[in-house]
């Protein structure tokens, strides 16, 4: 099995929806573009990323949203070194069609009280639903490692919540652990690094906005 040396997760740059939540009333979530600042963030993220990969081959997976496609394109990776695929299972949590700003703000308040993992938006998904489809993607990803010529790098261009749930699934974190973690910033990345024993370490933790509530499980 050709396990990659590193698996890089990167969140999209700043989008129109990050600066104006009324845009969801007139534009589909998947169609939102990066702002000029978001394009700049993605370009700036590309330099360190190209240095990290060092000219090695990359297997890239990109959420089907416009802002993730734009982020990937702005990274400036060598197209001769990248095998890229659109991966719908890495999309943002679905909130349900066009959105009324006041209703979404109310539902977000409910989610904060109920829990981000279990709360389901009225016409959309719960965090648990995203976890399940991320788990299905991971099964496909692991099968791809069976190719002895698999590239030494995997790049995943996705969304903040999806990044946290990917790591939750990979590292077997508890729901309480997930609930304590904050989203990474726009165009921010986390990297899973292969150890000599075949396991992976996260290069740096996600910031915590609270301490996880203990439920009595350990190990």
| Secondary structure letter of residue 15 according to DSSP | B
Q: How far, in Å, CA of 121 to CA of 192, rounded?
A: 30
Other beta carbons less than 10 A from residue 2's beta carbon: 13
On the CB side of 15, how many CA atoms lie within 13 Å of its CA?
25
Q: How far, in Å, CA of 57 to CA of 216, rounded?
A: 44
Could you give the residue ranges of the DSSP H alpha helices within the chain?
A: 16-19, 36-53, 66-74, 101-114, 127-144, 160-171, 175-179
Bridge partners (DSSP) of residue 155 are 8, 60
Q: Which residues are catalytic?
A: 12, 92
On the CB side of 93, how many CA atoms lie within 13 Å of its CA?
26
């Amino acid at each position: 099995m050709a396990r990659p040396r590193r698996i890089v997760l990167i969140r999209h740059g700043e989008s129109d929806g990050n600066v104006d939540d009324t845009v969801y009333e007139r534009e589909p979530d998947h169609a939102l573009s990066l702002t000029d600042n978001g394009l700049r963030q993605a370009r700036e993220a590309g330099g360190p990323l190209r240095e990290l990969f060092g000219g090695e081959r990359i297997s890239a997976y990109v959420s089907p949203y416009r802002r993730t496609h734009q982020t990937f394109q702005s990274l400036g990776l060598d197209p001769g070194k990248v095998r890229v695929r659109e991966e719908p299972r890495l999309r943002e949590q679905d909130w349900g069609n066009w959105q009324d700003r006041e209703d979404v703000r109310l539902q977000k308040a409910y989610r904060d009280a109920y829990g981000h993992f279990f709360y389901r938006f009225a016409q959309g998904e719960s965090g648990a639903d995203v976890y399940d489809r991320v788990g299905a993607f991971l099964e496909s990803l692991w099968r791809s490692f069976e190719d002895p010529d698999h590239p030494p790098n995997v790049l995943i261009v996705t969304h903040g919540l999806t990044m946290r749930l990917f790591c939750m699934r990979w590292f077997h974190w508890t729901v309480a652990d997930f609930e304590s973690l904050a989203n990474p910033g726009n165009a921010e990345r986390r990297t899973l690094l292969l150890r000599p024993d075949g396991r992976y370490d996260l290069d740096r933790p996600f910031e915590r906005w609270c301490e996880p509530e203990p439920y009595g499980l350990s190990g």
